[in-house]
Structure 1
């Protein structure tokens, strides 16, 4: 919010980008040496390590994003390798020390209309309020991310719910718990939020009777749920989140199919979000049926489904979005927001659901300087896909031009109620 300059090339481009650090780790580089998880490290030495191993990223999307950031954003015209490491580091540092490369200047240069953060339900969102009043072009909006408050198997569930109830002055009953969550959603709406975000290993929902929900909630607070009961409660709370979205209009986004913290040793040493979250098979059709039975035909309810199991695009997500007015196909996410994967995604979903049932391209990255390259790539891939359909006589040129414009602007605004 204070528009502080980025401190150094390594912390900006390497340490927080687990696309890069995970592949280096696979090749024997210690995560500590890269500053992962806040580990103390020498930024210049971290940069040298990356440069010495840059050949590992040939053909990867991660390599392309960083090279585009170096070339197009930071205006570095020298290839990165062991010999050039210090020179490139110095050039980047010199750029970062100038006003033109501060966060706000880059935000304006990238012409960002909307940037959404994911935030804890108890966040006061004072930073968002200050940004809204600062005259920043474009919108920086919060997103309601309640995962730890809904999952009894999360080690922070009990303490998180206790803090939630204390802040909202609600009772430690299931009804009080729901009222507290509703109150915090209202707080987010007041600060400009348009969506909630749910990161889950499985797209599983369950419709409990009220008496059963009350009973499981009390046992969740006591820490006595079995794994099967915790799964049912978690699934019911996703259904409750959908119910609240029907009530308050927040778009519900579901990022499903990731096993978090696959390496216990890495988690213990470096914490979460450090490169060892791994995709798993996902069942949307059966898992979401209880939710869709209740709310799938609600036209003001928007449910955006994101997957990292690309086998589900044509088999499950596109057919669901092609029937339920509430369901939209989320843009390729995580391991799939790369050129070839985006192309496969378009081929998988379009024949069943067309273009209108997608979210439009939105990126999900911590690598701020890669935003232009990611959007440019998606637009080029989509343009190529549309051009092929025109050449094959499957759509008209004027329709292709309309679709190309719609999926980068009007469509995400429509789906996310912007």
Structure 2
């Protein structure tokens, strides 16, 4: 099988203008990663990874899904097989992932940072595993060194309101050169439809906040305390994973009384989970607005579709997919509710169903206010859509329905320190798209004009949007 890979200097760049835009304007810019699932503990302790499986396969449900589809036994995916056995199982199926973004990502991540420029397969597995492991043992391949290698300037982790943020505090105290910001992700506070889990969570939340949660008012007090605590640790971003946004935003006195009874009884259900979620969410969003935070919403996933495997392995193990929800009415009701009192914070909405791209792109345009450039953001291709086709569709929808020059660009949305290659992947795809249109006469043949827009989307827009230019 061919040794040198398709991941050349001009990978994904199909025309001369694309080559110029990428290498002269995009390639060397720093990375602002405003949403990921990296471990702040691993950054704080500057973790050195045991082997390539440890840094690359653990927690990567993209790879797990592909391995299951190719008939790999679960023992070699999440089971008791050794790390080396798991790696070899992955290596053996990589050649069968052609046309899946995993094929591109795999070889981009081997090339940078490891300098490995050969295809991963059954025959090369032993050599690549040994070569990568030797490098991972070096100080230059620790967690912090990898972030530096990828030119990361800021990253924002995903943190539950109950997290103590100890590791963020450590990084702030030592003056770590890369900004590692927490983001406030209160998804569990909306899970009132799962009473046992929800009530147990509120007990922990109350303990962390120093508030006994017995009413709606005390729940809001506890959340406010945690928002204030996060703000003290340099948090300025919230994040929410929702199938779709709620449609009701008020609770009646009867429902507030029902909530009190619900918490102290064995009542199985709360009568209106949507109203509860809508009220709590919009009250949180008002807190974000008051503190000049950016709020992010990831919508459109249908999660935990395989109950048997959920019971066996838990959530986030590769059994989620694209949902077919109706977003337009919900989104306009939610944004309008906050906008009526001028309490709508800077907002990023990430969409998982490409059929909804134009709906969301046009909806967000309704709430631009002429005060903040790019205030309402149609977020980059997310999860199942952070591949070439999904990235191009998102860029095209935003260009056609909005103003792509204000776009804040790509994010990692990953648990792996190697996934920063996705920023390079995005930049190459975008430069190819713009370059192709320059060569076709659809965009001006003006390198500086188009190049500066590329730079803004890759870096400067996000730097301004998240206030990093203010120190």
* TM tier relative to shorter chain: over 0.9
Residue 349 (structure 2) pairs with residue 310 (structure 1): no
TM-score, structure 2 length as denominator? 0.83
Q: Secondary structure at the match of 1:202?
A: coil
Residues 252 and 302, structure 1, Cα contact 8 Å, conserved in 2: yes
- Per-residue deviation, 1:213: 5.1
Higher relative contact order (CA 8 A, sep 6+): 2
How many corresponding residue pairs?
A: 413
Decide whether the 8 Å contact of 2:60 with 2:415 is kept in 1: yes
Unaligned runs of 5+ in 2: 1-43, 369-374
Q: Is the contact made by 1:71 and 1:77 (CA closer than 8 Å) also made in structure 2?
A: yes
* Counterpart in the other structure of 1:236: 279
1:2 equivalent in structure 2: 45
Q: Do residues 160 (structure 1) and 204 (structure 2) align? A: no
In structure 2, which of residues 446, 458, 465 is the aligned counterpart of residue 408 of structure 1? Answer: 458
2:224 to 182, 199, 209: 182
Distance 2:198 2:65 in 1: 28
1:201 corresponds to which of 243, 247, 250 = 243
**TM-aligned CA deviation for residue 389 of structure 1:** 4.0
Per-residue displacement from partner, 1:241-272 (whole Å, max 9, x unpaired)? 22222222221111111111111111111111
Secondary structure class of the residue paired with 1:10: helix
TM-score by length of 1: 0.92
2:114 aligned with 1:74: yes
Q: Within 5 A, what are the aligned runs for 1:6-405?
A: 6-34=49-77, 36=78, 39-154=79-194, 155-171=196-212, 172-209=214-251, 211=253, 214-218=256-260, 220-221=262-263, 222=265, 224=267, 226=269, 229-296=272-339, 298=342, 301-314=345-358, 316-325=359-368, 326-371=375-420, 373-390=421-438, 391-395=440-444, 397=446, 398-405=448-455
Structure-2 change in CA distance of 1:209 and 1:41 (3 Å): same
What secondary structure does 1:67 align onto? Answer: helix
Deviations 1:33-70 (A, max 9, x none): 22x2xx43301111111122122211211121111111
The answer to whether the Cα contact below 8 Å between 1:306 and 1:333 also exists between their aligned partners in 2 is: yes
Q: Name structure 1 gaps, 5 residues minimum.
A: none
Q: CA separation of 1:225/1:248 partners in 2, compared to 1, >3 Å: closer, same or farther?
A: farther
Deviates more, 1:74-83 or 1:304-313: 74-83
What stretches of structure 1 move > 6 A for 4+ residues in a row?
Answer: none
Offset of residue 114 of structure 1: 1.0
Deviations 1:324-354 (A, max 9, x none): 1252111111011111211111112211101
Distance 1:261 1:393, change over 3 A: closer
With 51-60 and 301-310 compared, the bigger mean Cα shift is at 51-60
Once the two structures are superposed, residues 183-222 of structure 1 have per-residue CA deviations (whole angstroms, 9 ceiling, x without a partner) of 1011111111121111112222321145255235335524
RMSD: 2.1
Distance 2:127 2:311 in 1: 36
CA contact (8 A) 1:114 1:139 kept: yes
